Chain A
Amino acid sequence: MSDILIKFLLAGGTIFIAFNIAGLLTWVERKQSALMQDRIGANRASIFGFKALGLFHAIADVLKMLSKEEFIPAGANKFLFNLAPYLSVVFALVGFAAIPIGNQLIIGDRVIELQAANINVALIYIFAMMSMGIYGVVLAGFSSNNNYAFLGGMRGAAQMIAYEITMGAAIMGVIMVYNTIDLQLLVRAQGDYLMGGWIPKWGIFVQPLAFILFLTAATAETKRTPFDLPEGESEIIGYFVEYSGMKFGMFFMADLIETVLVAALMTTLFFGGWQVPYLMPDGFHFPWRAHIVLSNLPVVLLGVLAFFIKLSFFIWLLMAVRWTLPRFRYDQLMHLGWKILLPASLVNIAVTAVIIIFLR
């Protein structure tokens, strides 16, 4: 009974965190872009005169979207039209289940893995769910009964499929190095050290090329600038032209949730997840022979904190990329995906395999 309760708490907590970070991202995006461009950013919405740095704009946006007319174009396939945004959000959200946010928490004689779903094929599960997100895009474009939306959906699907392959191939190297696709085990394997204990064996240090490939492909996968052709918020007509109100808002949320998911994946795969440098399960062991002994609870809490700090850094990085780089042209996008990133990721796999064989 209490096992189920703990699972519910973990799942609820994960969804709560994912949703709230994604909701907060609307604010972060505005403020960060403003600071990067020497502006102040949204700061007008207020409740009883309190402006809270413009945080209420997120609430104001949701209220606006909920109170807008939900328009369904004539001739649209109503079922699919309504289904598409839900598919987008749900498949972006379920991926979080397999992200480990902390090490084993030991309460009494109970060992709790801080991971909502402790599955041994976590990585494949997350990738499966992320590729299911394409259905939201395709269905939205297909069911709108609008040629522009249809073209946008096709473009989006083509882009997502192209970069999905690179993404999968890029993490092959990581899987080969750590020899597991269970994310909790993968993070635990990153607790090793290289160079006589000075450098943690994080993905970024053993697979730097894979990191760059994954970062690029993941940015394309989440359809953010410089790869935001399928959305093209105001310039190019994308797959959600015909959507209004909260259904449009759900596509927007799916985008932000995917950003968080990708940031979490990058943290987990390449930056050691909840690993804190030199922190072992029983405390700090520095390479200069200093030791700090800690009990289980502070170690786990430090790990969770480290995970969220890394997560925020990657969200910051994705936002910075989004507000710095100009958009690709469609042929450049396909050229980059198929002719540069995919061969590079295949070369990465081959080189990694050779090195692993030689080191064995």
Chain B
Amino acid sequence: MENSNPNQQRRLELEKYFDARGPFAYLRLVQMKRAWKQSNRRELTWWESTYIPSVVSGIWLTSKHFFHNLSLHILHVFGLFKDVPAAVTFQYPEKPRPLALRSRTRHRLTKREDGSPRCVACMMCETVCPARCIEITAAEHPDPNIEKYPAEFILDLGKCVYCGFCVEVCPEDAIRMDTGKLNIAEYSRENMIYDKKRLMEE
């Protein structure tokens, strides 16, 4: 009977709509979670409320790690269990962290068999680059089958965002980001600008 009023029905529908997806939906979710937590909160027993069991179990956990690692370190000194690491960290400058095969690292220009760059100066990478860090100067290649080659290929690593679009777009597989070099740091911006020679060194 009360739903017979079309205006009322419309309002109820609207309220439902805003309840589920409206701007206050997230807030409502948070409130519901909080209410659930409060209604399901368990009183600590007297023994738990002294915090002694949790303190002891915490110290038990950390000292388990301590003695496990300590004994492993001592065994390592005697050359035993060398394959079980005593720490999860990487000793970085000496032993770099292993990279995933597909991780994008510093660029390199691939070479033909005669050592010249594979690049045909098609300007695809320069066009697609969102940071506009590539600058190619094209020149005519003596071989008519190749048509062009980069007289200069300048890549400013200070601008590069390592998106990998240049690698994706290259029709000749001429630029790759697989050197595994990530520790690129220089004292001046000029040193961050890589030319063709430096890009082909690897």
Q: In the complex, which of the residues A34, A35, A325 contacts B58, with contact meaning CB atoms closer than 8 Å?
A: A325
Q: In the complex, which of the residues B59, B69, B89 contacts A321, with contact meaning CB atoms closer than 8 Å?
A: B59
Say whether, besides A40-B87, A212-B52, A35 and B59 are in contact (CB < 8 Å). no
Give the contact stretch, choosing among B60-68, B110-118, B137-145, B184-192.
B60-68
A39 to B58, CA, bound (A): 18
Residues on A with beta carbons closer than 8 Å to the beta carbon of B3 = none
A276 to B146, CA, bound (A): 89
Asked if A38 contacts B59 (CB within 8 A), the reply is no
Q: Closest A residue to B50 by CB, please name it.
A: A340
Asked if B88 contacts A38 (CB within 8 A), the reply is yes
Asked if B62 contacts A324 (CB within 8 A), the reply is yes
Nearest CB in chain B: distance from A336 CB, A: 9
Asked if B63 contacts A36 (CB within 8 A), the reply is yes
Residues on B with beta carbons closer than 8 Å to the beta carbon of A317 = 59
Which residues 305-327 in A have Cβ within 8 Å of B in the complex? Answer: 317, 320-321, 323-325
Q: Closest B residue to A53 by CB, please name it.
A: B73
Asked if A32 contacts B58 (CB within 8 A), the reply is no
Residues on B with beta carbons closer than 8 Å to the beta carbon of A36 = 62-63, 65-66, 69
Interface size in chain B (residues, C-beta < 8 A): 17
Which residues 85-101 in B have Cβ within 8 Å of A in the complex? Answer: 86-89, 91
Nearest CB in chain B: distance from A334 CB, A: 16
Residues on A with beta carbons closer than 8 Å to the beta carbon of B59 = 317, 320-321, 324
Say whether, besides A212-B52, A324-B58, A324-B59, A35 and B66 are in contact (CB < 8 Å). yes
Asked if B52 contacts A35 (CB within 8 A), the reply is no
Residues on B with beta carbons closer than 8 Å to the beta carbon of A212 = 52
Would you give the 0/1 interface string for A27-64, flagging 1 where the beta carbon is closer than 8 Å to chain B?
Answer: 00000101111111000000000000000000000000
Q: In the complex, which of the residues A38, A40, A321, A325 contacts B65, with contact meaning CB atoms closer than 8 Å?
A: A38
Asked if A40 contacts B62 (CB within 8 A), the reply is no
Would you give the 0/1 interface string for B54-88, flagging 1 where the beta carbon is closer than 8 Å to chain A?
Answer: 01001101110110011001000000000000111
Which residues 298-356 in A have Cβ within 8 Å of B in the complex? Answer: 317, 320-321, 323-325
Asked if B55 contacts A325 (CB within 8 A), the reply is yes
Q: In the complex, which of the residues B66, B87, B91 contacts A320, with contact meaning CB atoms closer than 8 Å?
A: B66
A32 to B70, CA, bound (A): 9
A212 to B63, CA, bound (A): 19
Residues on B with beta carbons closer than 8 Å to the beta carbon of A323 = 62
Residues on A with beta carbons closer than 8 Å to the beta carbon of B58 = 324-325
A142 to B55, CA, bound (A): 35
Nearest CB in chain B: distance from A261 CB, A: 22
Nearest CB in chain B: distance from A73 CB, A: 35
Residues on A with beta carbons closer than 8 Å to the beta carbon of B73 = 35
Nearest CB in chain B: distance from A313 CB, A: 12
Residues on B with beta carbons closer than 8 Å to the beta carbon of A32 = 66
Residues on B with beta carbons closer than 8 Å to the beta carbon of A35 = 65-66, 69-70, 73
Which residues 37-63 in B have Cβ within 8 Å of A in the complex? Answer: 52, 55, 58-59, 61-63
Q: In the complex, which of the residues A38, A40, A324 contacts B91, with contact meaning CB atoms closer than 8 Å?
A: A40
Given contacts A35-B73, A40-B89, 10 further A-B contacts (CB under 8 A): A32-B66, A34-B87, A35-B70, A36-B66, A37-B65, A38-B87, A40-B86, A212-B52, A317-B59, A324-B61
15 A-B pairs within 8 Å (CB atoms) are namely A32-B66, A34-B87, A35-B65, A35-B66, A35-B69, A35-B73, A36-B62, A36-B65, A36-B69, A37-B65, A38-B89, A40-B91, A317-B59, A324-B55, A324-B59
